[in-house]
Amino acid sequence: MPQIVVLPHASLCPEGAVIEAPAGKSICDALLEHDIDIEHACEKSCACTTCHVVVREGFQSLNELEEKEEDLLDRAWGLEATSRLSCQAILAEENVVVEIPKYTINHASENH
């Protein structure tokens, strides 16, 4: 079963984490199932960028980006070449390392 290494994030996962999730599961679902409360304002329907992650290792093992995801990522804060919407990034058999960006474009969460 592949592992997801989550790099430390000040509020969502201060210590970082290593979790296991089956191939075929989205990164977002795996994080949520392990009490890492990544934002997902559109309820994982590929309509926002709040679940944006940067895949530091294992990017090539994930499913290919579809055009809708690519278009949305253009609006993500901190976009990098290996950025993905975690609700659309489906695990394969390889381990991945992800970083959750410090900010999102979700104004409601930024005011907390």
pLDDT for residue 108 is more than 60: no
pLDDT digits 0-9 by tens, 9-63 = 999 999 999 999 999 999 999 999 999 999 999 999 999 999 999 999 999 999 9
The predicted pLDDT at position 31 comes to 98
Rg (CA), the chain: 13
Given pLDDT bands bounded at 50, 70 and 90, which one contains residue 112? very low
Between CA 4 and CA 19 the distance in angstroms is 5
Between CA 18 and CA 90 the distance in angstroms is 17
> Is beta strand 3-6 parallel, antiparallel or unpaired with respect to 96-99?
parallel
The predicted pLDDT at position 104 comes to 79
What distances in angstroms separate CA 55 from CA 11, 68, 108, one per listed residue? 19, 19, 25
Tell me the three state secondary structure of residue 32.
helix
